[in-house]
Chains A and B, each alone.
Chain A
Amino acid sequence: MKSMSYEFTKGLVKNNPVFVQVLGMCPTLAVTTSVVNGLGMGMATSFVLVSAALIASIMKSLVPGEVRIPVYAVIIATFVTIADLVLRAFFPPLSVSLGPYVPLIVVNCIIMGRIEAFATRNGPLPSVVDALGMGAGFTLSLMVLGAVREIFGNGSIFGFDLFGPSFNPVLVMIMPAGAFLTLGVLMAIFNAVKESSKTVLISAEKPVEA
């Protein structure tokens, strides 16, 4: 049994859902035109991920193996509906800018992936901690991507103007093509940094795995 802090932190860097597992690409690319959008999508996904992982880990002995995927899909879809209604009621502008990508959380492979790979094999508490870590890693990645695209594409961050009126925004960054390019370059930077710090990571992980 690995420690709780390991279950949480592995989602941040080592198994980061976006940069390492390359999961949940569609919301990652689509909504990260600004930091706020990234944060909103990250929070909504984390909420669904944590709730669904909790329910799935409690119900794991009740669900027959053959029909588990549809059962989990229904659980996920229920929490997505809750998240969508909450967003519409309390954060209408965010709900409008996220558009159809809120319902698309249903098919976000991170959620089904964590349920399949972790929640159905562990108790409720580790599952929630694991889901929180993955959710935090996902939210962070979305915010980094959103920040880069907002700074270059709009000259602002969190909606605050950074460079004044003389700044000529790189419009392509907030267009679809910019999403692919930014994520590709960020992923390469992530790989390069990870590679260069590999020795440090391995020596830091050893006592945990023992």
Chain B
Amino acid sequence: MQFIVLIISAAVVNNFVLTYFVGVCPFIGVSKKIDSALSMGIAVTFVMTITATVTWLINRYILIGLGLPFLEYVSYIVVIASLVQFVEMFIKKTSPALYRTLGIFLPLITTNCAILFVALLLTMREYGFLESIVFGIGGGLGFTLAIVIMAGIREQLEVADIPKPFQGAAITLIVAGIIALSFMAFAGMVSA
């Protein structure tokens, strides 16, 4: 039950993109088509879950264990960068079909702030091991939900007559604002 609440909280109530503004770059950059948005969402969820697992272990057994908390940011970014590289090589070898779908999105994920944000937040909130993994999954699902909704709206926007100054990023941000407004309705559903 506790884990279900955590997933709902991370995915819907405190949606990463719409509440914490992490991962806004791919949210705006890769949300033109539902297909690619969904692939990006799955890739992010995948990397986010692994990152949550690995950074929890590193934080507990290396950084806290050896008394090196000031190396937190440096070690997290190295872990994320090498993890993304590793996942890319692994998928390329084991599943070429999956690689063709996710391939181009994987390098982009290194600079996706949502991934680092998960690592930082679970250290800050002192989550346990299982909680961290569930939090990573929930965050990834929330990102997927937001980016797919956004892509759905943008496919319709293609045919809309948008005033010139609003074309491009401006209208996308305003649409994001309206989605964020509607997500505010979930506030208070779960505390924390």
Q: A residues engaging B (CB < 8 A)?
A: 22-23, 25-26, 29-30, 69-70, 73-74, 76-78, 80-81, 84-85, 100, 103-104, 106-109, 112, 172, 175-181, 183-185, 187-189, 191-192, 195
Contacts and interface: CB of A to CB of B under 8 A. Distances in A.
Contacts of A78: 74
B100 to A, nearest CB: 23
A107 B177 contact: no
18 contacts: A23-B25, A26-B21, A69-B81, A70-B82, A100-B121, A100-B124, A104-B113, A106-B116, A176-B19, A176-B21, A177-B177, A180-B174, A180-B180, A181-B174, A187-B169, A188-B165, A191-B167, A191-B168
Given A177-B180, A180-B174, A192 B120 contact: no
B119 to A, nearest CB: 9
B176 interface: yes
B21 A25 contact: yes
B3 interface: no
Interface in B54-78: 70-74, 76-78
Contacts of A195: 164-165
Nearest to B19: A176
B18 interface: yes
Interface string B164-187: 111111111110111011001000
B77 A179 contact: no
Contacts of B18: 176-177
A104 B22 contact: yes
B86 interface: no
Q: Which 6 A-B residue pairs are closest in the complex by CB-CB distance?
A: A180-B177, A184-B173, A184-B174, A181-B177, A177-B180, A25-B24
Contacts of A104: 22, 113, 116-117, 120
B90 interface: no
Contacts of A176: 18-19, 21, 180, 184
Count chain B CB atoms within 10 A of each CB in A25, A81, A179 and give the residue with the most.
A25
B89 to A, nearest CB: 13
A103 B120 contact: yes
B170 A107 contact: no
Nearest to A175: B184
Nearest to B173: A184
B22 to A, nearest CB: 5
Given A175-B184, A181-B173, A185-B174, 9 more contacts: A25-B21, A80-B73, A84-B73, A107-B112, A107-B113, A107-B115, A178-B177, A180-B180, A195-B165
B183 to A, nearest CB: 8
A177 B184 contact: yes
Contacts of A183: 173
Count chain B CB atoms within 10 A of each CB in A73, A188, A189 and give the residue with the most.
A188
A112 B71 CA distance: 20
Nearest to A21: B169
A178 B184 CA distance: 11
Contacts of A191: 164-168, 170
Contact of A70 (B78, B124, B163, B173): B78
B21 A30 contact: yes
Contacts of B149: none
Contacts of A73: 77-78, 81, 110
B165 to A, nearest CB: 4
B171 A184 contact: yes
